[in-house]
Amino acid sequence: MASDVGSDGGDGRPPWRRRSDPSGGRNGSPGERNDAQWSLRRAETRPGRRTAESSDLPSLSVVVPTYNEEDRIETCLESILAAVADDPSHEVIVVDSNSTDRTVERARRFPVTVLRIPDDDLTTPGAGRYVGQRYATGDQLLFVDGDMRISGEWLDRARRVLDQRDDVAGIDGHLNTAEATDPEPVEALRGVVLYDADVLDQVDGFDPFLRALEDVELGYRITEAGYDVRRLPMVAASHPYSPGAAELRRRWRNGYYFGLGQAVRKNLRSPRTVWKFVDRYRYRAAFYGWLVVGAASLLVQPILVVVWLAVSLVMFAADVAWEGHADATQRLGKYVLSSAGFVRGFFMPPPEHSAFPVDVAEEVAEPDAVEGQRSVADGGDVVE
């Protein structure tokens, strides 16, 4: 059986002591002073971490960013509450990005805190995570999208790894299916992720202004700071996938295709990080390069455009033969939109994290003020 934690000494790094050295956290930073609503909460609960005198604080905070998830939020929260049922020391925080459906209404039926970001100009996937991180008080922070159903087995194992390994700062798993057999060291995490809260403070957490890839960009900053991140060889959660033109339009409308350009622009002073993005999204990078070749051929010798188009058609036909028409067309549409999105995102550099007005978020529900509460122990029936 594969070890939970993997090898301890592969790179010769000394053990980190983040749990006893919180000096690298955000307390006292400009961003902290801007958070009028929660700065006192953070100052009281986070600078010294958990002690015997603060044993009432949660060991685990679960942050659930949502946007128009009325069809899935109940299943998501039921899976989370079932996964943490044996640990009374936890808190669950839903951060809603101003949904226009009944997401908030349904989330309020559970014993969770519900926050809402009421300004559409501030609602990004990174913003929901950033607000949740700033509000949370747990030693470990788990982030679960509102359309996912988490695995309790993965969570138990991930928490053991963080408890045992001071050099590991974050852990994810596979979505839907898992083919790996051993824990993997990775450069970045995605999907459902468990983090050490101290490390998130040290690297300033999620970028609230990124329209996408906020988890990948954060992972690169964590590894650049000298910590490891790991992927367990098991399914962390199930996640729906909706291929088709409607999904492409949704992702463009929500600005998800702008994220890569934003992330590259943000990290221009770090060629190492930029290269990590290029390597991770190498197929997109190759497609962007091919578009540049086409544009250059038009400027240099227009007849070369005919050759470029012919080669492009041959490559598309080969993709259709290999993957099928639907998948090939979906991929082409995604790459075309991501190309335009990359350019647009590159000219949308994200501001500093501290510029995000965390105090704009509204607390609309608390765990101890729940009406029509659902009880997992009672099989999910509503308890009036």
Please tell me the predicted confidence (pLDDT) of residue 56: 73
User: 376 with 82: CB under 8 angstroms?
Assistant: yes
| Separation between Cα atoms, residue 160 and residue 146, nearest integer Å | 24
| Residue 152 confidence class, pLDDT cut points 50, 70, 90 | very high
User: 68 with 123: CB under 8 angstroms?
Assistant: no
| Separation between Cα atoms, residue 46 and residue 310, nearest integer Å | 60
Q: Are residues 233 and 283 in the same domain?
A: no
User: Tokens for 100?
Assistant: 């226009």
User: 106 with 70: CB under 8 angstroms?
Assistant: yes
CA-derived radius of gyration, the chain: 22
Please tell me the predicted confidence (pLDDT) of residue 240: 84
| pLDDT above 70: residue 40 | no
Q: In this structure, is residue 223 part of a structural domain?
A: yes
Please tell me the predicted confidence (pLDDT) of residue 370: 55
Q: Are residues 165 and 301 in the same domain?
A: no
Q: Own/partner pairs for 365-368, CB < 8 Å, 24+ apart?
A: 365/104, 365/107, 365/108, 365/112, 365/113, 365/114, 366/113, 367/91, 367/92, 367/111, 367/112, 367/113, 368/111
Q: Are residues 120 and 197 in the same domain?
A: yes
Q: Which of 24-28, 189-193, 287-291, 356-360 has the lowest mean pLDDT?
A: 24-28
Q: Are residues 183 and 102 in the same domain?
A: yes
Please tell me the predicted confidence (pLDDT) of residue 55: 56
In this structure, what is the dihedral angle of CA atoms 124, 126, 132, 134, given to the nearest 10 degrees?
A: -120
Q: Are residues 365 and 316 in the same domain?
A: no
Please tell me the predicted confidence (pLDDT) of residue 9: 35
Please tell me the predicted confidence (pLDDT) of residue 50: 34
| pLDDT above 90: residue 380 | no
Q: Are residues 64 and 182 in the same domain?
A: yes
Summarize pLDDT for 78-130 with one digit per residue, the tens: 999 999 999 888 999 999 999 999 999 999 999 999 999 999 999 998 999 99
Considering only residues 260 and 7, tell me which one the structure prediction assigns the higher pLDDT.
Answer: 260
CATH code at 159? 3.90.550.10
Please tell me the predicted confidence (pLDDT) of residue 187: 87
Q: In this structure, is residue 93 part of a structural domain?
A: yes
DSSP for residue 102: S
Q: In this structure, is residue 321 part of a structural domain?
A: yes
Please tell me the predicted confidence (pLDDT) of residue 4: 53
| Residue 54 confidence class, pLDDT cut points 50, 70, 90 | low
| pLDDT above 90: residue 188 | no
| Residue 178 confidence class, pLDDT cut points 50, 70, 90 | confident
Structural domain that includes position 358: 18-241+351-383
Residue with tokens 């990948």: 216
Count how many domains the chain has.
2
User: Based on the number of CB atoms within 10 Å of its own CB, is 259 exposed (0-12), middle (13-18) or buried (19 or more)?
Assistant: buried
Q: Are residues 137 and 190 in the same domain?
A: yes
Summarize pLDDT for 272-292 with one digit per residue, the tens: 999 999 999 999 999 999 999
How much of the chain, in percent, has pLDDT values that exceed 90? 69
pTM: 0.82
| Residue 376 confidence class, pLDDT cut points 50, 70, 90 | very low
| Residue 131 confidence class, pLDDT cut points 50, 70, 90 | very high
Q: In this structure, is residue 278 part of a structural domain?
A: yes
How much of the chain, in percent, has pLDDT values that exceed 70? 82
> 3-state DSSP call for residue 317?
helix
Q: Are residues 172 and 271 in the same domain?
A: no
| Residue 13 confidence class, pLDDT cut points 50, 70, 90 | very low
β-strand partners of 116? 96, 362
Q: Are residues 174 and 206 in the same domain?
A: yes
Summarize pLDDT for 337-356 with one digit per residue, the tens: 999 999 999 999 999 999 99
User: 95 with 132: CB under 8 angstroms?
Assistant: yes
Q: Are residues 275 and 232 in the same domain?
A: no
Please tell me the predicted confidence (pLDDT) of residue 185: 84
Q: Are residues 220 and 361 in the same domain?
A: yes
| Residue 242 confidence class, pLDDT cut points 50, 70, 90 | confident
